[in-house]
Each structure stands twice: as structure tokens, then as C-alpha cells.
């Protein structure tokens, strides 16, 4: 198959591209390599992909309608995995326009392209942030998700509604995945586990928000990729008047307290962190906890990587990649 992956130089996009290429698929990678975090890390990911047979990279922006039209016309992808987005809850408070452009206008361009150049399946990334600070756990896709507490979350929920509408109007087979906290090698430097590792090694103080009383559903990146792979070639079927659009949580179904997470990271690194305990930041949710029952029922998805093992693999990669760079 020919698969278009937006955000191919990103964390999940890179791992998914590598898996698809290793299984003999053609991958068209699209990414603008922006500087939200170190572009050199994105370029290093691409260097891992470029020697692999079947990979082609296009540097460009999702909001460029002419470019997106050309990519679809020239490559005629069978499947589109739309992972590109402006990420980060806290960044959205200071830079809201980036989120409107990338997460709404950019997704609109992809939807329009899938409308005019029909695809077998469009899989797109949503986020656990859409649940806000609801008290009911675990979070189910049947729960209301109309009280976002960050613009990032609002754009992701808006994207889900845009996807549903396009699927309803134009029959596009579509699956939205609400990602919970993803971690692992080649990860994003803006994520807590990444910045904590850097600071602990440097002997710097880490900032622990909400005084450590937070819970996250950490999911190892290889488990996430396996979940995506299982549904790629299985789009929602046409059935009566049902819209060919579905939503799934994709997470670990096991929230871990932030302080315990830090303890495991300290044990992995072999060094105790200096900690500064602070109140919660605007936009931060208290707990994320995924109900993955529907994904397990439909595709047999069940994460297998314990947090201790996942953080060990991340740290081994971190030491190898950075060496004396930091």
C-alpha cells in the first residue's frame, strides 16, 4: 500500500513510518520541520527513514492547499494517517494562532483532499485532552467531551467533529484516535519524561506541578504503533445510514501517579532528582485514564510494555543519541 503520513518526522509518525516501511509499504512522509522543539531531532529521525526502501519525504505545510492537492494527485495514497499537529497544552495558552492554523486549517486541507481524492481509510490523531478535568474514570469515548480546558484540547475536539461531518457528507471512511501520554525513544523534548531526564543528569531542579498529585496513562510508543497497525486496513464499513466514522481511546488503561513515575525514572537513571513542587498550571488536567475496551474488543489491542521497561529503553536511546551533546 501507499500510505501518506503527515508529521512523519514527529515522534509517533517516525515510529509508524519505520514499521510500515519494514513491512514493505510505500510511505510518503509530509512534515514542515517547524521549531516548536529542536528541528535537528526531527532531521535525525528522517535520516533513519531515508535509507529505507519505499520512503519519500516532502517538506511542506499543511495549510498550503496547492501543496496538499499536489501530494494527493501525484501519489494517490491508499491510506492517510494524519498525525501532524501543533502539540502542547501550555504552548497553546501563549501561541493560540499556531493551533488554529495547524490543527483546524491543516486538518481541513487533509479532509478536502480525501474528499476529492478518495482514500481507503483516513486515520487521524485526537487527544485525551478532549476529556478535560472530568471526575469519572476511566475515560470512555461515550463520555461527553465538551468542556476543554485548553485551546489545544478545543482544537482536537473540533477536529473530531469536522471529521464526523466530512464522513457524513462525503462518505470518507475515518477513524479518530484519542492518544493518551505516549513516551519512548526518539520522543518529544517538550514532554516531562524527556526534560526530567535532561535535568536530572545535569543536576538541575525539576519542576513538579500540582505538587506531584497528577496521574497520567503512560503508553509506550511501540504499543501505540501496534494499535495503529491493527486498524489501518480495516476502515469503518458502510452499514445502512451509519456514518463511516469512529473514535477510539488508545492508551495504557493504567494511570500512574506523577511522583511514582519520577521514582521509576530516578531508579532507571541511577540518580535522585532535585525537585521544586509547584501548583498546577493552567490547562493541565488532573488525571488521564483510558478505557480501551472498544479497541481491545475490535482489534485485540492491549499494551504490553511495563513503564519500567519503557523508560529503560528510552534512557538507553537518550544516552546513545545525546552522548556529549548536552
Asked if residue 321 is part of any domain, the answer here is no
Q: Is 326 inside any structural domain?
A: no
Evaluate whether residue 185 is within a structural domain: no
Is residue 43 assigned to a domain? yes
Alpha-carbon distance of 197 to 180, in angstroms, equals: 20
Cα–Cα distance for residue pair 319/323, rounded to 1 Å: 5
Q: Is residue 188 part of a domain?
A: no
Domain membership flag for residue 270: no
Q: Is 66 helix (H, G, I), strand (E, B) or coil?
A: helix
- Residues contacting residue 324 through CB under 8 Å, at least 6 positions apart: none
Q: pTM of the prediction?
A: 0.94
Residue 271 lies in a domain: no
The structural domain count of the chain equals 1
d(CA 48, CA 99): 28
Q: Of 218, 227, 222, 211, nearest to 280 (Cα)?
A: 211
**CA angle, corner 106, sides to 105 and 112, nearest 5?**
85
Q: β-strand 219-220 against 121-127: which pairing, if any?
A: unpaired
For residue 282, what pLDDT is reported?
79
* Chain centroid to CA 249: 12
CATH number of the domain residue 246 falls in: 3.40.50.720
pLDDT of residue 308: 96
* Catalytic residue numbers, as ranges: 152
What are the 10-residue block averages of pLDDT along the chain, 326 residues in total?
97 98 98 94 97 98 96 98 90 90 97 98 96 89 92 96 97 97 96 94 92 90 98 90 93 91 95 91 80 96 96 97 72
Sign of CA dihedral 246, 251, 254, 258: negative
The domain in which residue 74 lies consists of 2-180+221-251+289-304
Local structure of 200: helix, strand or coil: helix
Residue 196 has a pLDDT of: 95
Domain for residue 198, yes or no?
no
pLDDT given at position 88: 82
Amino acid at each position: 500500500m501507499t500510505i501518506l503520513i503527515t508529521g512523519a518526522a514527529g515522534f509517533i509518525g517516525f515510529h509508524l513510518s519505520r514499521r510500515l516501511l519494514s513491512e514493505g509499504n510505500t510511505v510518503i512522509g509530509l512534515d514542515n520541520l517547524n521549531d516548536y522543539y529542536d528541528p535537528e531531532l526531527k532531521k535525525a529521525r528522517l535520516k533513519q527513514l531515508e535509507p529505507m526502501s519505499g520512503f519519500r519525504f516532502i517538506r511542506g505545510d499543511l495549510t498550503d492547499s496547492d501543496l496538499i492537492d499536489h501530494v494527493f494527485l501525484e501519489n494517490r495514497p491508499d491510506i492517510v494517517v494524519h498525525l501532524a499537529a501543533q502539540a502542547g497544552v501550555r504552548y497553546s495558552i501563549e501561541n493560540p494562532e499556531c493551533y488554529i492554523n495547524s490543527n483546524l486549517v491543516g486538518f481541513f486541507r487533509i479532509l478536502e483532499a480525501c474528499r476529492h481524492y478518495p482514500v481507503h481509510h483516513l486515520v487521524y490523531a485526537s487527544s485525551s485532552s478532549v476529556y478535560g478535568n472530568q471526575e469519572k474514570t476511566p475515560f470512555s469515548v461515550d463520555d461527553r467531551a465538551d468542556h476543554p480546558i485548553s485551546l489545544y484540547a478545543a482544537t482536537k475536539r473540533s477536529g473530531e467533529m469536522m471529521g464526523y461531518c466530512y464522513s457524513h457528507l462525503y462518505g470518507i471512511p475515518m477513524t479518530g484516535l484519542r492518544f493518551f501520554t505516549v513516551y519512548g525513544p526518539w520522543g518529544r523534548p517538550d514532554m516531562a519524561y524527556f526534560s526530567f531526564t535532561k535535568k536530572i543528569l545535569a543536576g538541575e531542579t525539576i519542576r513538579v506541578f500540582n505538587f506531584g498529585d497528577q496521574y497520567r496513562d503512560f503508553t509506550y510508543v511501540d504499543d501505540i504503533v501496534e494499535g495503529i497497525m491493527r486498524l489501518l486496513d480495516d476502515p469503518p464499513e458502510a452499514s445502512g445510514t451509519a456514518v463511516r466514522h469512529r473514535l477510539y481511546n488508545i492508551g495504557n488503561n493504567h494511570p500512574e501517579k506523577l511522583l511514582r513515575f519520577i521514582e521509576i525514572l530516578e531508579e532507571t537513571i541511577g540518580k535522585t532528582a532535585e525537585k521544586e513542587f509547584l501548583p498546577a498550571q493552567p490547562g493541565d488536567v488532573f488525571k488521564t485514564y483510558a478505557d480501551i475496551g472498544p479497541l481491545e474488543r475490535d482489534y485485540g489491542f492491549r499494551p504490553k510494555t511495563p513503564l519500567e521497561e519503557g523508560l529503560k529503553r528510552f534512557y538507553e536511546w537518550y544516552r546513545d543519541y545525546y552522548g556529549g551533546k548536552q
